[in-house]
């Protein structure tokens, strides 16, 4: 059986339903957005030469995400997991993995967890003007750190969605994590992610 990667995408969180409706009204839609484009998560299978099985669940209501809904959907993957997996969480998907693994025991061994532009929210934020709702981290990250053999933090200084200070907060809370800060990757809307590919290849 091939080793597995579980890749969790990002999403949006709103403090109220009214804010969500306003977001929908103002969300820019054009032809380019309607044509499916591939990003680095879509290209992982080819970049890893089909040596890994990539599980990319479409999480529920990602435009107005709720942690409990994502948790239920995430756990539906468990019957299909092999003994050793790699977890990748992008943006909201990153804090989802951190929260889940800090509160729950994962059913199989985790070779590595990659957090890409993940927001950090412990309920005392004063440096951003958005909320992460029930994705808030409510307890120590020790259990999360214990369950992953390796942890990688990727962030970019020019990220306009999630500030780079969040990577520093994760680094402080996760002393064994490897932190990689880029200067010009934005929110990592790119076709390939060679740094992750090279790290994953070490587990072949």
| Cβ density class 1-39: b for 16+ within 10 Å, e for less | eebbbbbbbbbbbbeeeeebeeeeeeeeeeeeeeeeeee
Domains, the chain, with CATH or none: 3-201 (3.40.50.1820)
* Predicted local confidence at residue 79, as pLDDT: 95
* CA distance linking residue 137 with residue 144, whole number of Å: 11
The reported pLDDT for the residue numbered 43 is 87
pLDDT of residue 128: 59
Mean pLDDT over all residues of the chain?
90
* Neighbouring residues of 89: CB distance < 8 A, sequence distance ≥ 6: 7, 8, 95, 96, 97, 98, 113, 114, 115, 116, 118
pLDDT bracket for residue 39 (50, 70, 90): confident
1 pLDDT more than 80: no
Tell me the average pLDDT across 126-133.
68
Q: What is the per-residue pLDDT for 82?
A: 87
Count of C-beta atoms within a 10 Å radius of residue 75: 12
Residue 123 has pLDDT above 60, yes or no: no
User: The pTM is what?
Assistant: 0.92
Strand arrangement of the beta sheet that strand 3-8 belongs to: 52-55, 3-8, 84-90, 109-116, 148-156, 178-182
User: What is the pLDDT at residue 42?
Assistant: 85
Query: Quick check: 55 pLDDT over 60?
Result: yes
User: In terms of pLDDT, which residue wins out, 84 or 59?
Assistant: 59
Higher pLDDT, 177 or 30: 177
């Amino acid at each position: 059986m091939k080793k597995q990667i579980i890749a969790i995408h990002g999403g949006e969180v709103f403090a109220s339903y009214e804010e969500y409706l306003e977001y929908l009204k103002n969300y820019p839609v054009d032809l380019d957005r309607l044509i499916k484009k591939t990003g680095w998560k879509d290209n992982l299978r080819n970049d890893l030469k089909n040596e890994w099985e990539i599980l990319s669940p479409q999480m529920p209501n990602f435009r107005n995400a709720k942690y409990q809904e994502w948790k239920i959907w995430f756990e539906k993957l468990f019957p299909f997991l092999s003994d050793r997996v790699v977890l990748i969480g992008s943006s909201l998907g990153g804090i989802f993995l951190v929260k889940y693994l800090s509160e729950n025991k994962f059913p199989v061994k985790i070779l590595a967890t990659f957090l890409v532009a993940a927001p950090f929210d412990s309920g005392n934020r004063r440096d951003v003007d958005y909320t992460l709702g029930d994705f808030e981290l409510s307890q120590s990250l020790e259990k999360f750190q214990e369950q992953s053999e390796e942890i990688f933090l990727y962030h970019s200084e020019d990220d306009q969605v999630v500030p780079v200070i969040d990577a520093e907060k994760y680094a402080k809370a996760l002393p064994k994590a490897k932190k990689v800060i880029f200067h010009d990757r934005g929110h990592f809307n790119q076709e390939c992610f060679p740094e992750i590919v090279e790290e994953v290849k070490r587990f072949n």
